[in-house]
Amino acid sequence: MTETGMPVGNNGGTRRLRIAIVGAGAGGLCLAKDLLAAGIDEFVLLEKNDGVGGTWRLNRYPGCECDVQSALYSFSWAPKQDWSKPYGTQPEILAYLEGIAEDLGVLGHCRFNTEVTSAVWDEDAARWHLETSAGDAVDAEVVVGAVGMFREPSRPDIEGLDLFARNLVHSARWDDDADAVAGKRVAVVGSAASAIQLVPEVANVAEQLYMFQRTANWVLPKIDEPYSEAELAHFREHPEIQLTFRNQIYAHMDIGMTFSDPGPLAEREVIGLAAMEVVEDPDVRAKLVPDHPFGCKRPLFSNNFYPTFNRTNVELVTEPITRVSAQGVITADGTVRSVDTIVLATGFTTTRYLSSIPVTGRDGRQLDAAWAEGAQAYVGMTTAGFPNLFFLYGPNTNNGSILTMLEAQSAHVVAQVQRLVDEQLAWVDVRPEAMAAYNDEVQAAIAAIPVWQFDCNGYYRSSTGRIVTQWPFSMSEFARRAGTIDPTAFESAPL
């Protein structure tokens, strides 16, 4: 960060206010854009990887793509008219985010291959002290955790996994080595979001694929035919088409993603069961039928997942894995399946957020201790006891298109920064009672959604059972709440 001050806020004054953003994914880039638009340029993005993109840089397994249509899974201020198909692929999304960083001039604010290893609040100096893997330190008055939900891959607790003597890969750390699966005997552990995308692609090149399924999931078809060159040219000439499509998707998701209406949920189960009919073997088809209602777990979409089970080189395994040997996978019935590669398609530890980094707030309070009962924040962005610390894609903000949710959050953070300047405040910190009241409301709304009360949504729940990922209202309602700052909800200190 530069050592010069900068004009910021609406009072025409100048204040040296340094901002550290942890993460250069979609959230970090959105905030960088909004800060620059507000005339704030003294910020740094600390990114542990070698470039921007966040989860879209790390997740590059075969078949990786978004499960929200790209007309909406894109920033309102950076529309793209020529997605190759309705649901963008990982390479396209990464290129889109890289292009944004380039166009905005954000790359000069980034420090790549720099992981934040700790953050400590200095009460006397009213600033944060961050240590990094690069061996240097960063001091900043404001810290924004933009690491989201997908920082840490989830590794299953399987006996002997470390003893496997061949190739072991996690879907979130794919190394682009086709030799790991091409012509090989491959075990895929998992049957959720990453598995339903990579299994069909791996099955196309593997000698044999075993998919080890603990829980069957609802997988719905989607309208996803690639656009023709003529269609893409038409979209470029008439940008209002994609804008109309975006608004239609928004209106649909704004209501549907609250999962509060049982009618549409039941309709989706009918659609899901119909999609399974393509599976020719009735025994395999029966094993793919979920035992939980649609919406209880993360909704999944694919047109080629179910047809994969008609291939002669694919076996669905539902017997529990008991252990892994040096050569393969052993299930509870005693069957040993020798494999060359094990793919852990087991997702992420979604409930830790920034607490995956040691963060120390006021009076030595640790963030992981503050979240011992489950991560919680006021409007998903501030936690009591941690002044001038904000979260993007934080607790209970998962709903609809995350990029839409991030736009509302980023605008809120910038407004908080401007408040620090305009009111000459050293820090702001949400009051514990305001945070508690807000989270009580959110949890009560979650408890009122019947489909989320089944014991099937581990993706959403902390170890205590508290749902800490989902926003139970609409995206529009979140934008409304994030769009205002209630001064009475915060305590502060003057400069």
459, pLDDT greater than 90: no
Would you give the DSSP letter of residue 39? T
Closest by CA to 468, choosing from 356, 352, 357, 354, is 352
| Residue 266 exposed, middle or buried by CB count within 10 Å (0-12, 13-18, 19+) | exposed
Q: Which residues contact 450 (CB under 8 A, 6 or more apart)?
A: 262
Same topology, domains 6-152+349-494 and 161-218+281-344? Answer is: yes
Is the domain covering 161-218+281-344 a CATH 1.10.287.470 domain? no
Model pLDDT for residues 22-77, shown as the tens digit of each residue: 999 999 999 999 999 999 999 999 999 999 999 999 999 999 999 999 999 999 99
Tokens linked to 191: 């049957």
Third-level CATH fold of 6-152+349-494: FAD/NAD(P)-binding domain (3.50.50)
349, pLDDT greater than 90: no
* Helix, coil or strand: residue 375: coil
Contact 408, 449 (CB under 8 A): no
1, pLDDT greater than 70: no
Give the start-to-end residue ranges of the domains of the chain. Answer: 6-152+349-494, 161-218+281-344
How high is the pLDDT of residue 14?
64
Distances (CA, A) of 447 to 117, 193, 292, 451: 36, 25, 17, 9
Model pLDDT for residues 365-407, shown as the tens digit of each residue: 999 999 999 999 999 999 999 999 999 999 999 999 999 999 9
The pair phi, psi for residue 241, each rounded to 5°, is: -65, -50
How high is the pLDDT of residue 398?
94
Give the model's confidence band at 178: pLDDT under 50 very low, under 70 low, under 90 confident, else very high: low
Strand residues in 412-471 grouped as ranges (E): 425-430
Distances (CA, A) of 199 to 211, 316, 319, 358: 8, 11, 18, 36
10, pLDDT greater than 70: no
